[in-house]
Structure 1
Amino acid sequence: MQQSYLTDIADWYNGSGVKGIPSICSAHPLVIEASMLHAMKQDAYLLVEATCNQVNQDGGYTGMTPADFRAFAEEIAKKVGFPIEKLILGGDHLGPNPWKNLAAEEAMAKACVMIEAFALAGFTKLHLDTSMGCAGEPVALPDALTAERAARLAAVAEAALKGSDGVKPVYIVGTEVPIPGGAMEELDVLEVTKPESARETITIHAKAFEAAGVTDAFSRVVGAVVQPGVEYGNENVIPYEPEKAKALSATLSDMPGMVFEAHSTDYQTREMLRQLVLDGFAILKVGPGLTFALREAFYGLDQIAEFLFAGKRSETLIATVERVLTADPKNWDKYYHGSEAEKHIQRHFSYSDRVRYYWPQPEIDAAVKTLFDLLDGVEIPETLISQYLTGAYVPVRDGKVQPKARELALAAVDRVLEDYFEACRA
């Protein structure tokens, strides 16, 4: 089998140029398109990851299986001319999380089916996340049990690929893993992973992989998920403080061939992202931060359309979103708290951006299409861009972005991507 581009990620630090890689955790086609366009500008590899809740053998909330997601991503690549050989697909939080309401063995059986599907579909970065308890278990599991279950999943993936001539997958492990989708409440401070915990995580996984007969797979564990002290709540962001993570970063000297993977890096500044990479957090995961920027663009265009073409639509996009979210609250009601007025704000403007779960919903999808049809071919005045899409004003004035709806939406995502790609060239 072939070697993954990520195999030597721990050595990038000592080279020139790229020292880390952004992990694009989104299933939105415009986000993926913007990411491919940006990567092409830099002649860079692109890592796109699908979470266990987005994509699985049952379809996830996107309705896609792993094979469907690969076809979906490759179709976008074909459309924009992105080289398929530079596309790395990853599976994020692969484990029993989507079925944790079931008994552990039943949930793990489903997780085994899922990781086999990811492996067979050509996903070559597999994040093993078995840290959550299932029905009747504590919320957080002992490290030994987490590692045992992770090794079991790795064994399934390895067996599925036996005899294949494709790319050998690399693995990410860890026991201090943030929940998929971001924090569920307002945050004050976070405890950085203790150095001894990071070392123990690797030691215990090495033993579990050996016991499961997949020592070769452990040689392809290129990273561990730890908590560097970054996260976001509904209304606040906890910035990275390098001094607090100094001892944790130093432990990488005891883990040859490995880097740290940082989850929930959304909304960190470019400077803080760069510092994370320099401190060994070479894989920067970002998802809601990208769809948050896209949602800002959609809502800005919505207001522009309403100003230019008042009365042409029966309902604005934001009104459609509000109506659908209040009628179907399952993807946000556990995460948003406070008065009805406060929850109204959070539904649309929370950093956790749970609107992202609803863009594929037929009524909302149709409303977005109506909005773009209305603005199709319209050269939006700079003054309206200044008012409703402030971030795009200077690029439009400088001739770097066309004042057209689709280009403005892609540019909104691109501005976030720029921070990540530049930080990874630290």
Structure 2
Amino acid sequence: MNITKESIDALNAVVKVEVSAADYQDKVAQILQDYRKKADIPGFRKGHVPMGMIKKQYGKSIMIDEVNKLIQESLNKFLTEEKLDILGNPLPKIQDDFSWDADDYSFEFELGLAPEFEVNLDAKKKITQYNIVADKDLLDKEVENIQKRFGKLVSKEAVEEGDNITGTFVNEEKEINKKSTIELASIKGKVNQKKFIGAKVGDVIELKTKGLFDDDHKLMGALGLTHDEIHELEIPLTFTVEEINVTELAEVNQELFDKVFGPDVVKSEEELREKIKEDAEKQFQTQADQQLLNAVTEYLVENTNFDLPAEFLKKWLAVAGEKPMTPEQAAEEFEKSEKGLRYQLIEGKVLKDNELQINFEELKDFTKGFVKAQMAQYGQLNPEEKDLDDIVQRVLSNQDEAKRLQEQLVSKKLLDFYKENITFKVKEVTYEEFVKEVYK
């Protein structure tokens, strides 16, 4: 067997695999002997079927199968030994005059080669790193939310601002008949709110779904519909008032602190606010880190220039999936996936050049930390080490879960690396300001 590579350009090559009869004949003969021993053909004793008959019936298909296996094994070995970094998989070139009736064969495979490039982390235009702080307004709202959560409901005769109203939404055409409790503050617009003010138990209020709530997700919950069902939903509703309540806020005292955090963990309103601020900013940090990783990703994709073997990749995409694509479909798919492929190459380059690849022990430790955090949420603060190890083993035996955790660990390593090696423009913002700037 002879394998040679011809470079077309920096991103494309053709590998030629030449197979002679001597490369596969012994293996084919051995398999035919095994077939002969096991063949059960009427008129012949088992194991005594003439070899000519076995060859005639099975010889060609066995030979084709063995040649294909030999080509695949040899091609994979060649790519490994030559350290060829390819994109996609080798594509066999069509040979119009090819015939399996010959003894010697020649096959050609197109290769798309990964480009060589450098990743420059010295950003010319500084990337913004957000530091999200919990401001006084947020802390005030969170303290009030805690007071509401541990407050008590007081029944009322008529609806006023700040009340909770329980009733049934009805629309016969859409077969909506849903009992819900809503906060008057979540009703959007003064016109709609005025319809509720002064209403008593038994009153029927006429409404419209469009613009009824300040958040469409609240409309989903109130009507018991799915996201798709409420999309652009414009129908009339009736709401029959059944209960009117106001939440009497719990007092901010030691009893409240103990209910929220456990006995004597927090001993003053100042400590309560500090605890809320600490917990909130931990959550904000997770969002800020994800945004920073996204921003770096966008920057590197836009500012790391290299060519791809585009035509090869389009041909490969056309045949790589479960269903073949037309050239037009493959070109469209390439356009959609090109950005992701570019970042995969950049990410791989950063990981390799800076020795950031993860090993199994790191993945186990990361998974253990993840499991401990999950258990802590359910009050299991000091699990036995053996129990932890057993859970980690079960988690990592699930391929999908292991892959997800591995991706999270890679993202963490990259983020830590970027924070150490890129100079960012740090900007302190409140959470509302962060949302406006990032998700505008």
Normalising by the smaller structure, the TM-score range is under 0.3
Higher Cα Rg, which structure: 2
TM-score by length of 1: 0.20
Higher relative strand content:
2
TM-score by length of 2: 0.19
